[in-house]
């Protein structure tokens, strides 16, 4: 299959499903993962906004859309280039008229090709819709099982975040998508804030972004105010920061400070009238800072376990958790050396799943934490099919360039974490899927090391015959 994606999020899904090689065309905004920047660009903005401020861009967009000559899309489809890449499937969206080419223009371009490719239009308005779109893309591209595994993994990550902040306070949050004029953040952004433990006070979940009067921003601003920048039209592969006018920025900061003062007392003691002088004084001040950063509850050699009392740091569960944590970091190290997008996507997914493994291992059985399921194991089995190396009959020496050696190192650390969990399971029953996942992950890392070496055209590992 040959795929053209005119939507950055759809492009990321394509790569997450292992279809990076099938992508033959993209929009200028599709710049992640980095490998996609080598793909042909098949659309462009109708005006250059790289040197404009946000107010000027907004005015230009409005003039274009309101004029009879410019009514329609803000993007132009390069039909000649689209014809050259010969897509079987075009991914686009119908959610935002100023974010990508309109559906009508994409449909017209598709009809101008022979044969005409299928056009898949995405229009999510919530996190659930986004996950459902992943399943739809998987269905249309023959990656149904891979898409199901990805969605399950994403749901697990969402629930992991929600569980970790369940007992925290709910700070008020303002998210802005555009600064001149002010646009609030709609659709799924308020849901993201909610999952992260906050409460978005200007946006409405499932509703489009809209302009908001400045006085409402001031009234609604609470503990956090964030800017979620949109792309600047006409700057392929680039984005630029928008800034508020200085008088508004000062007003926003003073309003937030005043609001914090009304609602709660300062969290840290006021500084002394006469700051400490000399080396001894600086050391006392530094000690005060350290005291606020560290609880010192573990100084006696104990640590907390979710769903149970504090235990010794040499407890079997804590040892296993430490090995899982080290394995997670080792995968991150291996990830830093990889250049192939398929390997990178699989390792990133595995590292995220290891956080769920850690949540299970580091908590008592009845604690409410995300769990490893058969779907996580199936995801690894699918990954092994993607990086197929055939049958390896020799013992392979664990050495080579950094992208290979780091995978071998991660394999050994994961295997150690597996042994620690087996020992813990003999004392306290663990979820059997955790043991299955760790076993599969170590095997996958070995296979990935062999695959990466072969793809790099390097000599085979020195081996010993069995």
pLDDT digits (tens, 9 = 90+) for 408-444: 999 999 999 999 999 999 988 899 999 999 999 999 9
Distance CA(364)–CA(273), nearest Å, equals 48
Whether 178 and 85 map to the same domain: the answer is: no
In a domain? residue 60:
yes
Instruction: Identify the domain boundary among 131, 157, 183.
Output: 157
Least confident range from 178-192, 234-248, 290-304: namely 234-248
| Residue % of the chain over a pLDDT of 90 | 33
Average pLDDT of the chain to the nearest whole number? 79
> Which of the given ranges, 54-58, 217-221, 363-367, 426-430, has the highest pLDDT on average?
426-430
On the question of pLDDT at 54 being above 90, the answer is no
Provide the whole-model pTM: 0.52
Burial state string for 413-430 with b = 16 or more CB within 10 A and e = fewer than 16: bbbbbbebbeebbeeeeb
Query: What span, in angstroms and rounded, lies between the C-alpha atoms of 424 and 362?
Result: 11
| pLDDT band, very low/low/confident/very high, at 327 (cuts 50, 70, 90) | very high
The last residue of a domain, from among 124, 157, 190: 157
Two tokens, residue 201: 């006070």
CATH code assigned at 190: 3.40.50
Looking at the structure, do residues 200 and 109 belong to the same domain, yes or no? no
Q: What percent of the chain has pLDDT over 70?
A: 78
11 with 145, same domain: the answer is yes
Residues 74 and 132 in one domain: yes
Give SS3 for 417: helix
Cβ(226)–Cβ(189) below 8 Å = no
Is the model's pLDDT at 85 over the cut of 90? yes
Task: Verify that 201 and 223 share a domain, yes or no.
Answer: yes
User: Distance between alpha carbon 430 and the CA centroid of its chain, in Å?
Assistant: 29
For residues 309 and 210, membership in a common domain is answered with no
pLDDT at site 264: 41
Question: Is there a single domain that holds both residue 18 and residue 121?
Answer: yes
Confidence (pLDDT) at 286: 43
Contacting residues for 272 by C-beta, under 8 A, at least 6 apart: none
pLDDT band at 92 (very low <50, low <70, confident <90, very high): very high
φ, ψ for residue 142 (rounded to 5)?
Answer: 75, 20
Same domain flag for 407 and 438? yes
**Predicted local distance difference test score (pLDDT) of residue 173:** 85
Identify whether residues 316 and 448 lie together within a single domain.
Answer: yes
Name the 3-class secondary structure at 42.
Answer: coil
**Is the domain of 7 the same as that of 121?**
yes
In a domain, 408, yes or no: yes
Count: domains in the chain = 3
Q: Considering the domain boundaries, does residue 234 fall inside one?
A: yes
Give 262's pLDDT tier (boundaries 50, 70, 90): very low
In a domain, 276, yes or no: no
Long-range CB contacts (< 8 A, 24+ apart) of 352-357? 352/153, 352/157, 353/153, 353/156, 353/379, 353/437, 354/324, 354/327, 354/328, 354/441, 355/157, 355/160, 355/328, 356/156, 356/157, 356/160, 357/324, 357/434, 357/437, 357/438
The conformation of residue 22, written as its DSSP 8-state character, comes to: G
**Residue 53 covered by a domain:** yes
Q: What is the pLDDT of residue 236?
A: 34
> CA-CA distance, 175 to 188, in Å (whole number)?
12
Coil/strand/helix, residue 428: coil
Helix axes 8-16, 127-140, angle to 10 degrees: 60
CATH code, 14? 3.40.50.1980
Q: What is the span of the domain harbouring residue 317?
A: 303-464
Q: How confident is the model at residue 385 (pLDDT cuts 50, 70, 90)?
A: confident
Query: What average pLDDT does this structure show over 108-116?
Result: 90
24 within a domain of the structure (yes/no): yes
Residues 281 and 218: beta-carbon distance below 8 Å = no
Q: Is the pLDDT of residue 266 over 80?
A: no
Classify strands 308-312 and 199-200 as parallel, antiparallel or unpaired.
unpaired
If asked whether residues 312 and 416 sit together in one domain, one would say yes
The mean per-residue pLDDT over the stretch 75-94 comes to 91
Closest alpha carbon to 42 in 85, 99, 71? 85
Contacts 24+ apart (CB under 8 A), 155-164: 155/131, 156/353, 156/356, 156/370, 156/376, 157/352, 157/355, 157/356, 158/127, 158/195, 159/370, 160/355, 160/356, 160/359, 160/369, 160/370, 161/195, 161/196, 162/195, 162/197, 163/359, 163/368, 163/369, 163/370
Angle at which helices 341-361 and 144-164 cross, to 10° = 40
Taking the C-alpha atoms of residue 37 and residue 135, their distance in angstroms, rounded to an integer, is 25
Above 50 in pLDDT, residue 38?
Answer: yes
pLDDT score for 388: 80
- Is 268 a domain residue? no
| Assigned domain for 287 exists | no
| Boundary (domain end) residue, out of 232, 248, 263 | 263
């Amino acid at each position: 299959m040959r795929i053209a994606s005119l939507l950055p999020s759809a492009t990321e899904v394509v790569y997450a499903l292992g279809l990076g090689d099938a992508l033959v065309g993209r929009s200028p905004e599709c710049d992640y993962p980095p490998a996609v920047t080598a793909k042909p660009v098949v659309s462009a903005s109708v005006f250059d906004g790289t040197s404009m401020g946000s107010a000027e861009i907004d005015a230009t967009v409005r003039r274009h859309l309101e004029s009879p000559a410019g009514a329609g899309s803000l993007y132009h489809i390069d039909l000649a280039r689209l014809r050259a890449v010969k897509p079987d499937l075009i991914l686009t969206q119908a959610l935002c008229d100023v974010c990508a080419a309109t559906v009508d223009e994409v449909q017209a371009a598709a009809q101008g090709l022979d044969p005409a490719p299928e056009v898949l239009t995405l229009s999510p308005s919530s996190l659930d819709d986004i996950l459902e779109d992943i399943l739809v893309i998987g269905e249309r591209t023959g990656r149904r099982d891979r898409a199901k595994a990805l969605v399950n993994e994403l749901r697990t990550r969402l629930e992991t975040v929600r569980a970790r902040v369940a007992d925290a306070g709910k700070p008020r949050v303002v998210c802005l998508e555009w600064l001149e004029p002010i646009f609030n953040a709609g659709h799924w952004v308020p849901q993201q804030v909610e999952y992260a433990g906050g409460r978005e006070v200007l946006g409405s979940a499932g509703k489009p972004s809209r302009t908001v009067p400045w006085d409402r921003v001031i009234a609604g601003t609470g503990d956090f105010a964030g800017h979620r920048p949109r792309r600047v039209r006409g700057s392929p592969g680039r984005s630029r920061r928008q800034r508020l006018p200085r008088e508004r920025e000062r007003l926003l900061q003073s309003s937030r400070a005043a609001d914090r003062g009304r609602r709660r007392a300062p969290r840290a003691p006021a500084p002394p009238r006469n700051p400490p002088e000399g080396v001894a004084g600086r050391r006392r001040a530094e000690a005060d800072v350290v005291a606020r950063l560290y609880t010192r509850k573990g100084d006696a050699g104990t640590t907390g376990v979710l769903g149970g009392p504090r235990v010794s740091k040499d407890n079997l569960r804590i040892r296993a958790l430490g090995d899982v944590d080290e394995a997670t970091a080792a995968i991150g190290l291996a990830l830093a050396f990889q250049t192939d997008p398929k390997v990178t996507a699989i390792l990133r997914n595995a590292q995220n799943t290891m956080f769920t493994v850690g949540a299970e291992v580091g908590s008592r059985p009845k604690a409410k934490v995300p769990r490893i399921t058969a779907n996580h194991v199936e995801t690894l089995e699918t990954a092994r099919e993607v990086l197929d190396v055939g049958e390896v009959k020799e013992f392979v020496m664990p050495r080579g360039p950094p992208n290979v050696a780091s995978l071998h190192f991660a394999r050994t650390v994961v295997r150690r974490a597996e042994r620690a969990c087996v020992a813990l399971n003999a004392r306290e029953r663990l979820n059997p899927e955790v043991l299955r996942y760790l076993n599969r992950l170590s095997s996958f890392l070995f296979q990935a090391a062999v695959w990466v070496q072969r793809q790099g055209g390097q000599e085979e590992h020195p081996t010993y015959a069995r």
